[in-house]
Amino acid sequence: MYHPYFRGKQFELITIRETAPLLAKSNFVPIVEPVKESLGGLERTLKAVSDALGNAIVIVNPYHGALSEDGTGIAELLRKGFCGDSICSGLLLLEDMDVADAIEGCQQFQNGKLTLVHAGFTQAKALSEELGNDLTATRNIFFEAYCGKLYRKHFQGSERILLRDGFQRRRNRDYPGYELFSDLHVTYEEEGMNGFGDFLIVGDDYSESGGPAYAVAIHLTCIDPTRDEAMYIYHFVSTSQDTPTDPAGKFAEALQKLIWRLDTGTSNLLETSAVKEFRDLHSKRHFPDSVM
């Protein structure tokens, strides 16, 4: 039902590995777009998902990162040890592809359930007609920014998943305290979808660059029962914002705001393992000196 989209940076692959049992238990299916040339981390992650009896989708033709020009190594990894219904390949359908490219990719990379990830492709009607009777056997995942309802209509009869980017990226200092993240978890069926997904609290933007931040922000989501069970996001931003120095001190300031909100008892934030780690950092007064 829920399909979180990950770009396969190291910290994201570690997140999937460490939460693989929880993902499997919750029937969450992560989508991974590998962006690093070395596939060792991806292989360990997929093994963890498989060992937990979970499921995952791996993009075999990434748009971002070191493998954007040649994703054959990803397909070889899947064929070598992860073919089947548990770990399946996903074909990214982009603006510069035509129907022939899409069909060729389907034939080349298919293993397990055929998964098409629509991210700028424009020939929906022609592709659905070309798929014919095979359409009902496909899983179609739509980046909402590129795929309106008319586009998605052509794939009725298949399993359909809608991805929405609910994270509004700003400079850290410019985040509001609290804002809407998404309501797809309660409205995806109204959209005619079989499931939903998002880009977590990273967003769809991709960047390899980074540097010292003038402000440190901690982002946490919650379900707000006072607002029709929509998902909202807290942004806990450091008070100090004038220079890019002292990231540990800024993290401490942001963390103090988070703990204060938790301790009010009215935050609607779940005491997850991540929140417990934040509490532990606060109680030990141990703050990372390398934060964004």
Predicted confidence (pLDDT) per residue in 162-172, tens digit: 999 999 999 99
Q: Are residues 28 and 104 in the same domain?
A: yes
Question: Is the residue at 16 inside a domain?
Answer: yes
Element housing 46 (H / E)? helix 40-51
Residue type, 257: K
Tokens of 62: 């990434």
The predicted pLDDT at position 46 comes to 94
The whole model's pTM is what?
A: 0.92
Cα–Cα distance measured from residue 175 to residue 166, given in angstroms and rounded to the nearest whole number: 14
The predicted pLDDT at position 210 comes to 62
Predicted confidence (pLDDT) per residue in 77-136, tens digit: 888 877 667 898 999 999 999 999 999 988 886 666 789 999 999 999 999 999 999 899
Q: Is 172 helix (H, G, I), strand (E, B) or coil?
A: helix
The predicted pLDDT at position 65 comes to 85
Q: Note whether 137 and 131 are within 8 A (CB).
A: no
Q: Are residues 150 and 252 in the same domain?
A: no
Over residues 219-226, the mean pLDDT reads: 97
Cα–Cα distance measured from residue 179 to residue 26, given in angstroms and rounded to the nearest whole number: 26
CATH number, position 54: 3.20.20
Question: Is the residue at 289 inside a domain?
Answer: no
Q: Are residues 132 and 223 in the same domain?
A: no
The predicted pLDDT at position 84 comes to 67
Predicted confidence (pLDDT) per residue in 238-287, tens digit: 999 999 989 999 999 999 999 999 999 999 999 998 999 999 999 998 77
Quickly tell me which residue has 């509004």 as its tokens.
Answer: 168
What is the number of domains present in the chain? Answer: 2
The parent domain of residue 129 ranges over: 5-164
Q: How confident is the model at residue 191 (pLDDT cuts 50, 70, 90)?
A: very high
How far lies 33's CA from each of 6, 108, 121, 184, 281, in Å?
6, 18, 17, 22, 31
Question: Is the residue at 190 inside a domain?
Answer: no
* Sequence-separated (6 or more) residues with CB below 8 Å from residue 44: 13, 17
Q: Which residue has the higher pLDDT, 79 or 144?
A: 144
Q: Are residues 149 and 63 in the same domain?
A: yes
Tokens of 69: 């020009």
Q: How confident is the model at residue 292 (pLDDT cuts 50, 70, 90)?
A: very low
Q: Are residues 248 and 136 in the same domain?
A: no
Question: Is the residue at 193 inside a domain?
Answer: no
Q: Are residues 15 and 144 in the same domain?
A: yes
Cα–Cα distance measured from residue 21 to residue 53, given in angstroms and rounded to the nearest whole number: 8
Share the mean pLDDT of the chain: 91
Q: Are residues 145 and 229 in the same domain?
A: no
Q: How confident is the model at residue 71 (pLDDT cuts 50, 70, 90)?
A: confident
* Sequence-separated (6 or more) residues with CB below 8 Å from residue 241: 172, 173, 214, 215
Question: Is the residue at 71 inside a domain?
Answer: yes
Over residues 144-170, the mean pLDDT reads: 96
The predicted pLDDT at position 112 comes to 62
Over residues 44-69, the mean pLDDT reads: 92
Question: Is the residue at 221 inside a domain?
Answer: yes
Predicted confidence (pLDDT) per residue in 14-51, tens digit: 999 999 999 999 999 999 999 888 899 999 999 999 99
Q: Are residues 11 and 153 in the same domain?
A: yes
